[in-house]
Amino acid sequence: DAKTTQPNSMESNEEEPVHLPCNHSTISGTDYIHWYRQLPSQGPEYVIHGLTSNVNNRMASLAIAEDRKSSTLILHRATLRDAAVYYCILGYNFNKFYFGSGTKLNVKP
Amino acid sequence: DVKVTQSSRYLVKRTGEKVFLECVQDMDHENMFWYRQDPGLGLRLIYFSYDVKMKEKGDIPEGYSVSREKKERFSLILESASTNQTSMYLCATTDSSQIYGYTFGSGTRLTVV
């Protein structure tokens, strides 16, 4: 299974943009790039996913490198509610997803 | 919104007990999954099901079994609970297109004493 590498933790100020990186040098051609986040005491929550092109939704943007070996989740204006663990996951079939340790995002007021 | 409901938020069971964790979803999703989450190990897939009465082993099925008699319900069974099964258990669903990703329940924190 293709694995991802994320920083253990990051810090951001409220109202500022946050760029969460993810490296996935062994990604295969059929792997989608998925992002989930887990708020304290809750199950993970879907954020966004993409294959080759950059993607935007109401929660975030996903920027995918041209060679697909890395991607960046962008939160345009961090709020305190965005403090969570963010997981970058590769996969095509959901039964093959690998959730690693993720990046713990701390948002300072 | 899809809702995935796990029957208990917290459970405390004794070693050797048979434990049932229930998961119910209300959006007619075909695929259902059971994960456990432990510090430093991330989420690990125990079992999944893509249809009624169908089940597939995940990465760590030992000590667990599952049951899916109805489309909306997926049960995880610990036949004889042990202390190393103390963990957070998460149920998740997706539809057959898998376009919109997993929807997770809030989790059941199981402590085996």
B62 secondary structure, DSSP code? T
pLDDT at B54: 92
Give chain A's mean pLDDT.
91
A76 secondary structure, DSSP code? S
Structure tokens at A30: 């059929």
Task: Select the residue of A42, A46, A98 nearest B102 (Cβ to Cβ).
Answer: A46
Backbone torsions φ then ψ of B77, nearest 5 degrees: -120, 125
A97 touching B (Cβ < 8 Å): yes
Written as tens digits, the pLDDT of chain B (113 aa) is: 659 999 899 999 999 999 999 999 998 899 999 999 998 888 899 999 999 989 999 989 999 999 999 999 999 999 999 999 999 999 999 887 766 678 899 999 999 99
CA B53 to chain centre: 15
Residue A95 pLDDT greater than 90, yes or no: no
Structure tokens at A8: 């253990």
pLDDT at B70: 96
Determine the Cα–Cα distance for residues A20 and A13; give it in Å rounded to an integer.
Answer: 14
Cβ atoms of B60 and B48 within 8 Å: the answer is no
A45 touching B (Cβ < 8 Å): yes
B38 touching A (Cβ < 8 Å): no
Residue A98 pLDDT greater than 80, yes or no: no
Confidence of residue A93 (pLDDT cuts 50, 70, 90): low
Residue A41 pLDDT greater than 70, yes or no: yes
Question: Which of A30, A36, A57, A95 is best to mutate for the B interface (most B CBs within 10 A)?
Answer: A95
Q: In chain A, whose CA is at the least distance from the CA of B6? A: A43
Task: Report the gap between the CA of A9 and the closest CA in chain B (Å).
Answer: 14
Residue A100 pLDDT greater than 80, yes or no: no
pLDDT at B76: 98
DSSP E strands in chain A: the ranges are 9-13, 18-23, 32-38, 45-50, 55-56, 61-64, 70-75, 84-91, 103-108
Condensed to tens digits (0 to 9), the pLDDT of residues A1-24 reads 568 999 999 999 999 999 999 999
Buried-exposed string A92-106: b where 16+ CB fall within 10 A, e elsewhere: eebbebbbbebbbbe
Task: Select the residue of B40, B56, B107 nearest A43 (Cβ to Cβ).
Answer: B107
Between B106 and A91, the more confident residue is B106
Residue written as tokens 């997803």? A97
